[in-house]
Structure 1
């Protein structure tokens, strides 16, 4: 039974995972990260889960790493840190991952939000990488994903000053896709997830993979992957159903095959 997560069964194909460590503003201790990685692995293997929404609470999505835990590790401890493997498993989640962010998303919290494919932010959300204030730097994707998301100038400013940005600034910069009233962030994320869950699962999975290729490969390689994935989908029953449903002017009933 997860200790630091609250998990709801899939609702119309969408599983809701809530980080639950309120006394520490959902700071990402090793155990929490392990539980989250395990839960996402379970969701990946569950045919009833077609998308996942991850959220925190009104005050904090996640306010960073667990500093007390980090302070106990020396160079060797950081080198052998089990959290790196947990982060890799979280980033490898193959289904759509949507973050509903309210309050603080700082340090590891911002890095976790950037692992999501879509970020819905409440108006009061704040995003930042303040590690520089502790004499360190981001270590779970905060330099690489942030620069790819918002560009060099803003990423440099955020990482080198440690200053956070508002939800509206994050929207303008491309870090989030929508800004809502705080009380609507989770419901809007669930709506987006439920919309995705009505689509053909194989097409969603390959489309996500193709989009991610754009961030870590050259254009020619990305185009080859895209065309290969497009061709593979031509052999699926869902493609036939999608075209037939369009021609018959009815909702498609996709089966994931």
Structure 2
């Protein structure tokens, strides 16, 4: 999402992914943490070096690095953007790799949370690759934007930004293209967390990782339907939203996880959910 998705963010950057896992996006506009003075508009953050590896398995795929974390972080996958020469600007190739990676993760039941982060020091994502866009034929642009929106749920700022911070303020930011720092972004509800940078340069990622760890012990089925209820409910009136919530809850009733939760409560122990 990410969660972390986080030390400076892109306005309309990487957000929650559709599917059964959760996203904590490092330096994203959703579930993110920013350094107090990091500007928000296309992204500007300080992150660990690209070579840093926090997991037992890391796969280098040109401009996208996939890391499966282990031990107490097992179930968390980190997708690292690594287009240093272009400040992680999103081009067709990177979007294709991101889409492929996300599709693979959706079918992996062991994956519980996904974190998007930058592997490039000093930047998260500069937005769309305008150099590539300038070379596109007009007939290609629409398709590119559609694919980008399908991969990155937070694109579509004219619709999503007003829903997040209100119509008036959204118009102000969009019309002026004004840069806001981390503190202001948090104060207007654009992001969730602001953190002070640390010596390693990965304070936001660490915050996103801590948030992702909070998701791990929760029931996968309950989290999936809760996410569905929230996402769909935000687009309709309250009465319809409550009906969506009821329908989503009904999906949990026949599951083994629901029984496990009840037994764990009765036996005064932590539940052991399996997503079944």
TM norm structure 2: 0.71
In structure 1, what is the equivalent of residue 46 of structure 2? none
The secondary structure found in structure 1 opposite 2:203 is: helix
Q: Structure 2: 5+ residue runs without aligned partners?
A: 1-59
* Structure having greater relative contact order (Cα 8 Å, sep ≥ 6): 2
Is it true that 1:184 corresponds to 2:203 in the alignment?
yes
C-alpha displacement of 1:181: 2.2
Runs of 4+ residues over 3 Å off in structure 1: none
CA contact (8 A) 2:68 2:74 kept: no
Higher strand share: 1
Name the counterpart of 2:97.
Answer: 35
Question: Any idea what the Cα deviations from partners look like across 1:124-166, whole Å, max 9, x if unmatched?
Answer: xxxxxxxxxxxxxxxx411111111111122111110111211
Corresponding residue for 1:228? 247
Q: 2:158 aligns with which of 127, 131, 143?
A: 143
Check the 8 A contact 2:233/2:241 in 1, yes or no: yes
TM-score (norm 1): 0.76
Contact 1:30–1:83 at 8 Å: present in 2 too? no
In structure 2, C-alpha distance between the alignment counterparts of 1:147 and 1:252, rounded to whole Å:
39
Equivalent residue of 1:55, what SS? strand
Q: What count of residue pairs does the alignment treat as equivalent?
A: 209
Alpha-carbon distance between aligned partners in 2 of 1:86 and 1:164, rounded to the nearest angstrom: 23
Secondary structure of the residue aligned to 2:124 is strand
Contact kept, 8 Å, 1:37 with 1:87, in 2: the verdict is no
Q: Which of these residues, 134, 140, 143, is aligned with residue 71 of structure 1?
A: 134
Q: Does 1:256 align with 2:255?
A: no
Contact 1:36 1:90 in 2 (8 A): no
* Alpha-carbon distance, 1:58 to partner: 4.1
C-alpha distance 157-58 of structure 1, shift in aligned 2 (>3 A): farther
**Cα displacement (A) at 1:221:** 1.6
Shift in Å, 1:76: 2.1
Distance 2:83 2:189 in 1: 28
The residue number in structure 2 matching 1:59 is 122
Tell me the secondary structure at the aligned position of residue 251 of structure 2: helix
Q: Which residue of 1 aligns with 2:80?
A: 18
Contact 1:9 1:16 in 2 (8 A): yes
SS at match of 2:132: helix
Q: Deviations over 1:15-53 (max 9, x none)?
A: 011111112111111111111111111111111111100
In structure 1, the gaps of 5 or more residues are 92-114, 116-139
Structure-2 separation of matches of 1:58 and 1:242 = 43
Corresponding residue for residue 128 of structure 1: none
More helix per residue: 1
Question: For residue 47 of structure 1, what is the aligned residue in structure 2?
Answer: 109
1:174–1:17 Cα change, 3 Å: same
1:194 aligns with 2:213: yes
- Quote how far apart the aligned CAs of 1:89 are: 3.8
Shift of 1:87: 2.6
Alignment of 1:158 with 2:173, yes or no, is yes
Shift of 1:247: 2.3
Q: Distance in 1 between matches of 2:234 and 2:117?
A: 25
Change in CA separation of 1:58 and 1:243 when aligned onto 2, cut-off 3 Å: farther
Query: Residue 257 of structure 2 contacts residue 274 of structure 2 at CA under 8 Å; is this kept in 1?
Result: yes
